[in-house]
């Protein structure tokens, strides 16, 4: 792997490549801030542990380009990657960070962004764990309380519903991507067809494609998913190889279409939110 091109860095295109003066000018000109929340987590024998960071980072770069076409400036905050693992927590390389650690860090960074002059911040997730996503919401709530910045959790409508949040909660900006792939009879949730497809589309050198044909689909339904979501040793027993879905069916074109549909829906939701004040 050392000789292979690792693909685009998660810092590419972010504030980390800008000077302070450029960031200051962007904030003054009304640029919005975009921030992805991923995790280091096992992703089967074929995907890197940073999958949930690489993918939202790629999505935000595309979202920023789509916003620029609409005349909306955006600064990408370097991705947060010490998210909360519950489901994969019994696997190696899936650190169990306490939610309060993540929420406290979010509060401090959001306060700083507010002081820097940013007035809109959109936080997105790269990781499906419910506890991780509840923590993003909590960090957004704490970070924006009593401050000038309006922060919100930019999240797919089905995730908003799963977390029990109201679609009109001011701390939430829901979005709904257009369907981008065929519907399948079995669930594809973690390191399966869609996630492997998206990694093949954005970071192909990081995918262990030689093992893909040997990965048998899990063919799980909702009851299996409920058992897997109990997490830790339950998840490891349910999916000993770490993936839930059908990685061998991955197709980079499907990955490209799904990332584009999400970026378009995110840019639309951000533009609508800003127009609403
Ligand atoms: Zn993932």
Q: How do residues 132-142 score in pLDDT, each as one tens digit?
A: 999 999 999 99
Residues contacting 97, CB < 8 A, separation 6+ = 82, 83, 84, 85
Residue pair 119/113 in contact by the 8 Å Cβ criterion: no
What is the average per-residue pLDDT within 30-53?
A: 98
> Rounded to whole angstroms, how far apart are CA atoms 165 and 153?
11
Half-sphere exposure of 28 (CA within 13 A, CB side): 6
pLDDT, position 2: 40
Mean pLDDT across the chain, nearest whole number?
95
CA of 93 to the centre of ligand 1 (A): 13
CA of 1 to the centre of ligand 1 (A): 21
Q: How do residues 93-123 score in pLDDT, each as one tens digit?
A: 999 999 999 999 999 999 999 999 999 999 9
CA of 19 to the centre of ligand 1 (A): 31
CA of 250 to the centre of ligand 1 (A): 14
Task: Kindly give the pairing relationship between strand 74-80 and strand 150-156.
Answer: unpaired
CA of 43 to the centre of ligand 1 (A): 6
CA of 44 to the centre of ligand 1 (A): 10
CA of 206 to the centre of ligand 1 (A): 14
Grade residue 245 by pLDDT with cuts at 50, 70 and 90: very high
CA of 131 to the centre of ligand 1 (A): 14
Grade residue 159 by pLDDT with cuts at 50, 70 and 90: very high
The dotted CATH code for 15-180+258-275 is 3.40.50.10310
pLDDT, position 182: 83
Q: At 125, is the secondary structure helix, strand, or coil?
A: strand
Grade residue 147 by pLDDT with cuts at 50, 70 and 90: very high
Residue 47 bridge partners (DSSP): 43
CA of 75 to the centre of ligand 1 (A): 24
CA of 270 to the centre of ligand 1 (A): 24
Least confident of 64-68, 73-77, 93-97, 119-123: 93-97
Strand order in the sheet with 150-156: 74-80, 32-37, 120-125, 150-156, 172-175
* DSSP track, 221-254: -HHHHHHHHT-HHHHHHH-TTS-BS-GGG--HHH
Grade residue 57 by pLDDT with cuts at 50, 70 and 90: very high
pLDDT, position 153: 98
CA of 8 to the centre of ligand 1 (A): 17
Grade residue 181 by pLDDT with cuts at 50, 70 and 90: confident
CA of 195 to the centre of ligand 1 (A): 7
What interhelical angle do 252-275 and 193-202 show, nearest 10? 90
CA of 247 to the centre of ligand 1 (A): 12
CA of 255 to the centre of ligand 1 (A): 13
CA of 127 to the centre of ligand 1 (A): 5
CA of 126 to the centre of ligand 1 (A): 7
Q: Is the pLDDT of residue 7 over 70?
A: no
pLDDT, position 6: 53
> Rounded to whole angstroms, how far apart are CA atoms 252 and 42?
21
CA of 277 to the centre of ligand 1 (A): 33
């Amino acid at each position: 792997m050392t000789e292979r091109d690792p693909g685009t860095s998660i810092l590419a295109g972010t504030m980390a490549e800008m000077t302070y003066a450029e960031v200051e000018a962007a904030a003054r000109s009304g640029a919005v801030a975009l921030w992805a929340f991923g995790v280091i987590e096992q992703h089967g024998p074929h995907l890197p542990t940073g999958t949930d960071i690489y993918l939202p980072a790629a999505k935000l770069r595309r979202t920023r380009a789509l916003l620029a076409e609409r005349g909306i400036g955006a600064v990408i905050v370097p991705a947060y990657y010490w998210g909360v693992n519950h489901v994969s927590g019994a696997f190696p390389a899936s650190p169990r960070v306490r939610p309060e650690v993540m929420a406290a860090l979010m509060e401090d960074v959001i306060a700083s962004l507010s002081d820097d002059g940013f007035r809109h911040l959109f936080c997105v997730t790269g990781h499906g764990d419910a506890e991780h996503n509840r923590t993003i919401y909590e960090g957004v709530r704490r970070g924006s309380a009593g401050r000038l910045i309006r922060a919100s959790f930019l999240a797919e409508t089905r995730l908003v519903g799963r977390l029990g949040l109201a679609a009109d909660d001011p701390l939430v900006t829901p979005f709904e991507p257009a369907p981008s792939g065929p519907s399948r009879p079995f669930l594809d949730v973690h390191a399966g067809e869609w996630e492997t497809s998206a990694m093949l589309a954005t970071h192909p050198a990081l995918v262990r494609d030689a093992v893909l044909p040997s990965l048998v689909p899990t063919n799980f339904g909702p009851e299996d998913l409920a058992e897997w979501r109990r997490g830790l040793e339950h998840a490891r027993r349910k999916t000993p190889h770490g993936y839930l879905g059908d990685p061998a069916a991955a197709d980079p074109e499907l990955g490209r279409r799904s990332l584009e549909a999400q970026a378009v829906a995110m840019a639309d939701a951000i533009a609508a939110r800003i127009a609403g004040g």
